[in-house]
Amino acid sequence: MSDLVTFGETMLRLSPPGQERIERATELEFRAAGAESNVAVNAGRLGVEATWLSKLPESPLGRKVTATVESQGADADVVWSEEGRQGTYYLEQASKPRPTNVVYDRANAAVTTATADELPTERIERADCFYTSGITPALSDTLEGTTADLLELAQDAGTTTVFDVNYRSKLWTPAEARPVLESLFPAIDVLVTAERDARAVLGLEGDAERIARDLADEWGFETVVVTRGAAGALALHAGDVTEQPAIEADTYDAVGTGDAFVGGFLTRRLQGDGVPAALEYAAAVASLKRTIPGDTALVTPDEVEAVLEKTDDGIAR
Least separation in angstroms between residue 125's CB and a copy of itself is 24
CA 92 to each of CA 14, 134, 258: distance values in angstroms, whole numbers, following the listed order: 9, 23, 19
CA distance 77 to 56: 10
Task: Name the segment binding a copy of itself (CB under 8 A); options: 140-148, 200-208, 262-270, 288-296.
Answer: 288-296
C-beta of 63: minimal distance to a copy of itself in Å? Answer: 4
Q: Which long-range contacts (CB under 8 A, 24 or more apart) does 56-62 make?
A: 56/80, 56/81, 56/86, 56/110, 56/111, 57/81, 57/82, 57/83, 57/84, 57/85, 57/86, 57/110, 58/82, 59/86, 61/12, 61/86, 62/86, 62/110
Q: Are 294 and 30 in contact (CB under 8 A)?
A: no
Residue 28 near a copy of itself by CB under 8 A: yes
Q: Does residue 252 touch a copy of itself according to CB under 8 A?
A: yes
Which sequence positions are flagged as catalytic?
259
- Listed as own residue / partner, the contacts of 178-182 with beta carbons closer than 8 Å and 24 or more positions apart are 178/202, 178/203, 180/137, 180/138, 180/144, 181/134, 181/137, 182/219
CB of 137 vs a copy of itself, minimal distance in Å: 17
- Vertex 6, ends 274 and 112: CA angle to 5°? 150
Q: Is 205 in the site for a copy of itself (CB under 8 A)?
A: no
**In the set 108, 115, 142, 271, which binds a copy of itself (CB under 8 A)?**
108
Nearer to a copy of itself, 72 or 244 (CB): 72
Distances (CA, A) of 50 to 86, 119, 211, 234: 23, 16, 30, 25
The reply to whether 105 sits near a copy of itself by the rule CB under 8 A is yes
134 binding a copy of itself? (CB under 8 A): no
Residue closer to a copy of itself (CB basis): 94 or 231: 94
Q: How many residues bind to a copy of itself according to rule CB under 8 A?
A: 76
**Can residue 98 be called a binding residue for a copy of itself (CB under 8 A)?**
yes
* Chain residues 217-246 in contact with a copy of itself, contact rule CB under 8 A: none
Which residues ranging from 154 to 173 are in contact with a copy of itself (CB under 8 A)? 168-170
* Contact flag: residue 113 with a copy of itself (CB under 8 A): no
Stretch that binds a copy of itself, among 110-118, 216-224, 232-240, 285-293 (CB under 8 A): 285-293
- Which residue of 2, 100, 142, 155 would you call a contact of a copy of itself, by CB under 8 A? 100
